[in-house]
Amino acid sequence: MSSDHNDEGRRDFLMVAAGSFAAVGAAGALWPLVDQMNPDASAKALASIEVDLSPIKEGQAVTVMWRGKPVFIRKRTAEEIKQAVSADTTDMRDPQVDGDRAKKPEWLVLIGICTHLGCIPRGQSTGDVHGDFGGWFCPCHGSHYDTSGRIRKGPAPTNLEVPPYAFISDTKIKIG
Amino acid sequence: MSDHSSSYVPSNGFTRWLDERLPIIRLMYDSFIVFPTPRNLNYLWTFGGILTFCLVAQIITGIVIAMHFVPHGDHAFASVEHLMRDVNWGDLIRYTHAVGASMFFAAAYIHLFRGLYYGSYKSPREIIWIFGVVILLLMIITAFMGYSLVWGQMSFWAVTVITNLFTAIPIVGEGITQWIWGGYSVGDPTLNRLFSLHYLFPFIIAALVGLHIWALHVVGSNNPTGVEVKSKTDTIPFFPFYVIKDGFMVVVFMLLFSWFVFYAPNYLGHSDNFIEANPLQTPPHIVPEWYFLPFYAILRAIPDKLFGVIAMVAAIVVLFVIPWLDTSKIKSVSKRPLFMPFFWLFVITCFALGYLGAKAPEGYFLIASQLFTAYYFIFFIIIMPVIGLIETPKELPDSITEAVEGQSGKEGASS
Amino acid sequence: MNSILKTITKLTALFSAAVVSGIIFTSSALAAGGTGPEIKRQEWSFGGFNGQYDKAQLQRGFGVYKEVCASCHGMKLLSYRNLIQKGGPEFSKEQALAIAKEATVIDGVDADGEPKERPGKLSDRFQGPFKNENEARSANNGAYPPDFSVLAKARTIHRHVPWYTEPYYWGYDMVTAYEEKGSDYIYALLTGYGTAPKGVVMGDGMNYNKYFPGHQIAMAAPLSEDAVEYADGTPTTMEQHAKDVTAFMAWASEPHLNARKNLGKRVQIYLLIFAFLLFLAKKSVWARLKH
Q: Is B385 helix (H, G, I), strand (E, B) or coil?
A: helix
Question: Which of A15, A40, A46 is most worth mutating to test chain B (most B CB atoms within 10 A of its CB)?
Answer: A40
Say yes or no for a CB contact (<8 Å) between A41 and B85.
Answer: yes
Listed residue (B171, B173, B153) closest to B163, CA to CA: B173
Q: Is B4 a catalytic residue?
A: no
Q: B2 lies in a domain?
A: no
Catalytic residue among B155, B221, B328, B332: B221
Residue of A nearest to B88 (CA): A36
CB contact under 8 A, B262 and C264: yes
Q: Which of B252, B286, B320 is the last residue of a domain?
A: B286
Domain-terminating residue out of B286, B310, B326: B286
Rounded Cα–Cα distance for residues B253 and B57 (Å): 13
pLDDT-based confidence at residue B3 (cuts at 50, 70, 90)? low
Q: For position A97, what pLDDT does the model report?
A: 93
Kindly report, residue by residue over A62-112, the tens digit of the pLDDT.
Answer: 999 999 999 999 999 999 999 999 999 898 999 999 999 999 999 999 999
Which of B24-33, B179-188, B243-252, C13-22 is the least confident region? C13-22
A18: which chain C residues are within 8 Å (Cβ-Cβ)?
274, 277-278, 281
Q: Is the pLDDT of residue C289 over 90?
A: no
A142 φψ region: left (φ > 0), alpha (ψ -120 to 50), beta (else): left
Distance of CA A133 to the CA centre of its chain: 24
Of the listed ranges A42-46, B235-239, B352-356, the least confidently predicted one is A42-46
| Segment B215-235 mean pLDDT | 96
Q: Does B82 touch chain A (CB under 8 A)?
A: yes
Residues 6+ apart with CB under 8 A from C38: C159, C160
Q: Which chains pack against A, by 3+ Cβ pairs within 8 A? A: B, C
Q: A15 at the C interface (CB within 8 A)?
A: yes
Residues B248 and B193 both lie in one domain: yes
Question: Any CB–CB contact under 8 A between C280 and chain B?
Answer: no
> Taking a C-beta distance cutoff of 8 angstroms, is the pair A162, A110 a contact?
yes
Over the stretch A25-59, which tens digit does the pLDDT of each residue have?
A: 999 999 999 999 999 999 999 889 999 999 999 99
CB distance C123–A25 less than 8 Å?
no
pLDDT band at C37; cut points 50, 70, 90: confident
pLDDT digits (tens, 9 = 90+) for C118-165: 999 999 999 999 989 999 999 998 999 999 999 999 999 988 899 999
Neighbours of B129 (CB within 10 A): 22
Distance between CA atoms of residues A168 and B257, nearest Å: 50
Residue B155 belongs to a domain: yes
CA–CA gap between residue C81 and residue B395 (Å, rounded): 72
Query: CA-to-CA distance for B145 and B147, rounded, in angstroms?
Result: 6
Say what the pLDDT of residue B184 is.
95
Residue B103: CATH number of its domain: 1.20.810.10
Whether residue B323 sits in one domain with residue B212:
no
Q: Using a CB-CB distance cutoff of 8 angstroms, which residues of chain A are in contact with residue B69?
A: none
Distance separating the N- and C-terminal Cα atoms of chain C: 48
Using the Cβ of B93 and the Cβ atoms of chain A, whether some distance falls under 8 Å is answered with yes
Cα distance between residue B289 and residue B276, in whole Å: 17
Instruction: Find, among B96, B34, B83, the residue nearest to B241 by Cα.
Output: B34
pLDDT tens per residue across span B94-141: 999 999 999 999 999 999 999 999 999 999 999 999 999 999 999 999
**In the prediction, which pLDDT does A52 show?**
92
The pLDDT score that the predictor gives to residue B1 is: 47
State the DSSP code for C117.
Answer: E
User: Between C85, C123, C280, which is nearest A14 by CB?
Assistant: C280
List chains adjacent to chain C, taking adjacency as at least 3 C-beta pairs closer than 8 Å: A, B
pLDDT band at residue C206 using 50, 70 and 90 as cut-offs: very high
Tens-digit pLDDT profile for residues C93-106? 999 999 999 999 99
Closest-CA distance of chain B to residue A38, Å: 7
Res C26 pLDDT > 50:
no
- Shared-domain flag, residues B273 and B330: no
Residue B5 covered by a domain: no
Interface of C with B in 216-275 (CB under 8 A): 253, 255-256, 260-261, 263-265, 267-268, 271-272, 274-275
Are residue B170 and residue B249 in the same domain, yes or no? Answer: yes
Boundary-marking domain end, from B258, B286, B314: B286
What is the pTM assigned to this prediction? 0.91
Query: H/E/C letters for each residue in C2-67?
Result: HHHHHHHHHHHHHHHHHHHHHHHHCHHHHCCCCCCCCCCCCCCCCCCCCCCCCHHHHHHHHHHHHH
- The fraction of chain C above a pLDDT of 70, given in percent, is 87
Is residue B95, in this structure, part of any structural domain at all? yes
Residue of A14, A31, A48 to mutate, testing the C interface (most C Cβ within 10 Å of its Cβ)? A14
3 state SS of B364: helix
Q: Are residues B276 and B349 in the same domain?
A: no
CA atoms of C86 and C84, how far apart (whole Å): 7
Q: Verify whether the Cβ–Cβ distance B258 to C267 is below 8 Å.
A: yes
Of B245, B267, B413, nearest to C290 by CB-CB distance is: B413
**B319 shares its domain with B265:** no
Is residue B415, in this structure, part of any structural domain at all? no
The pLDDT assigned to A3 comes to: 64
pLDDT band at C20 (very low <50, low <70, confident <90, very high): low
pLDDT in tens, B45-84: 999 999 999 999 999 999 999 999 999 999 999 999 999 9
Same domain membership, residue B280 and residue B251: yes
Question: Do residues B345 and B204 share a domain?
Answer: no
Report the SS3 class of residue C90.
coil
pLDDT given for residue A46 in this prediction: 87
ipTM reported for the complex, 2 dp: 0.92
A69 residue type, one letter = K
A24 vs C contacts (CB less than 8 Å) = 270
- How far does A29 lie from chain C, in Å, by closest CA? 10
The C-alpha atoms of residue C101 and residue B50 are separated, in whole angstroms, by 52
Q: How many angstroms separate the CA of residue A68 from the nearest CA in chain C?
A: 15
- B20: in domain: no
Q: Which of C77, C167, C278 sits opposite B81 (nearest CB)?
A: C77
Q: Does B62 touch chain A (CB under 8 A)?
A: no
3-state secondary structure B221-286: CCCCCCCCCCCHHHEEEHHHHHHHHHHHHHHHHHHHHHHHHHHCCCCCCCHHHHCECCCCCCCCCC
Per-residue pLDDT, C31: 42
d(CA A12, nearest CA chain B) in Å: 13
From the list C270, C278, C287, the residue facing A18 with the nearest CB is: C278
Among residues of chain C, what percentage have pLDDT more than 90? Answer: 79
Domain of B39 in residue numbering reads as 30-286
Across-strand partners of A74?
A61, A108
Min Cα–Cα distance to chain A from C81, Å: 8
Q: Is pLDDT of C24 > 60?
A: no
Q: Is A34 on the interface with B (CB under 8 A)?
A: no
Same domain, B55 and B190: yes
B356 and B250 share a domain?
Answer: no
Report pLDDT for B285.
86
Number of structural domains in chain B? 2
Q: C271, B39: Cβ pair inside 8 Å?
A: no
What CA–CA distances, in Å, run from B330 to B336, B394, B412? 7, 9, 25
Annotated active-site residue in B30, B234, B289, B326: B289
Q: Is A130 a catalytic residue?
A: no
Question: Distance (Å) from the C-alpha of residue C279 to the closest C-alpha of chain A?
Answer: 10
Same domain, B138 and B202: yes
Percent of chain B topping pLDDT 90: 93
B318 and B207 together in one domain: no
Q: Is B329 known to be catalytic?
A: no
What does the pLDDT look like over C171-180, one tens digit per residue? 999 999 999 9
